């Protein structure tokens, strides 16, 4: 933490990093492409909605007699799943952007933590458990 005497001082802002675009390389782990991460990123993309709408149109066109209430319910579940996935991804990315900013302005923070969100969940859990053990050992 900063001393109280530095609270009123202006900070020099560094230029912002460009936003990351969808990148399949982020999903690569030690064992190659992690398909679960890739599927999660794809389902949060707006094109996923277009695919569901295209599928519904094809279903109506080729099998109209079986497009009943169950079909509408199935499509509604798919669309709601995509909406939830997209909202979750948006919230997660916003949270990471805020945390990255806090890590960037704090001089005592380790810069490698800003790249932690690019790892697989299991690797993040291992990292977090190690940090908790270190924190408990220093108490």
Instruction: Determine, yes or no, domain membership for 111.
Output: yes
In sequence order, which residues have a C-beta less than 8 Å from that of residue 15 and are 6 or more positions away?
Answer: none
In a domain, residue 73? The reply is: yes
Beta-strand runs (E) in 16-91: 28-29, 32-33
User: What average pLDDT does this structure show over 5-15?
Assistant: 54
Higher-scoring residue by pLDDT: 85, 138: 85
> Which of the two residues, 8 and 80, has the higher pLDDT score?
80
Domains identified in the chain, total number: 1
Asked, for residue 57, whether it belongs to a domain, the answer is yes
Domain span at residue 64? 32-126
Structure tokens at 57: 């149109």
Cβ contacts of 119 within 8 Å, gap of 6 or more: 29, 127
**Is there a domain that residue 104 lies in?**
yes
Say what the pLDDT of residue 21 is.
46
Do residues 56 and 75 make contact, with C-beta atoms less than 8 angstroms apart? yes
Query: What pLDDT band is residue 100 in, cutting at 50, 70 and 90?
Result: confident
89-115: average pLDDT: 82
Taking the model in full, what pTM does it have?
0.57
**Three-state SS for 81?**
helix
Q: What is the mean pLDDT of residues 115-137?
A: 83
Residue 69 within any structural domain of the chain: yes
| CA 100 to centroid of chain Cα atoms | 13
Between 137 and 118, residue with greater pLDDT: 137
Question: Comparing 29-33, 89-93, 102-106, 108-112, which segment has the lowest mean pLDDT?
Answer: 29-33
* Residue 107 belongs to some domain of the structure: yes
Kind plus residue range of the DSSP H or E element containing 135: helix 121-137
């Amino acid at each position: 933490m900063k001393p109280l005497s530095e609270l009123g001082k202006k900070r020099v802002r560094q230029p912002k990093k460009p936003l990351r675009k969808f990148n399949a390389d982020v999903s690569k782990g030690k064992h190659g492409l992690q398909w679960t991460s890739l599927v999660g990123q794809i389902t949060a993309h707006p094109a996923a909605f277009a695919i569901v709408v295209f599928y519904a149109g094809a279903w109506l066109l080729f099998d109209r007699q079986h497009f009943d209430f169950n079909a509408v319910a199935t499509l509604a579940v798919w669309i709601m799943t995509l909406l939830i996935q997209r909202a979750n991804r948006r919230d997660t990315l916003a949270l990471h952007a805020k945390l990255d900013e806090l890590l960037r302005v704090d001089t005592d923070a380790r810069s490698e933590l800003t790249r932690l969100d690019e790892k697989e969940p299991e690797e993040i859990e291992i990292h977090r458990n190690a940090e908790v053990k270190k924190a408990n050992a220093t108490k």
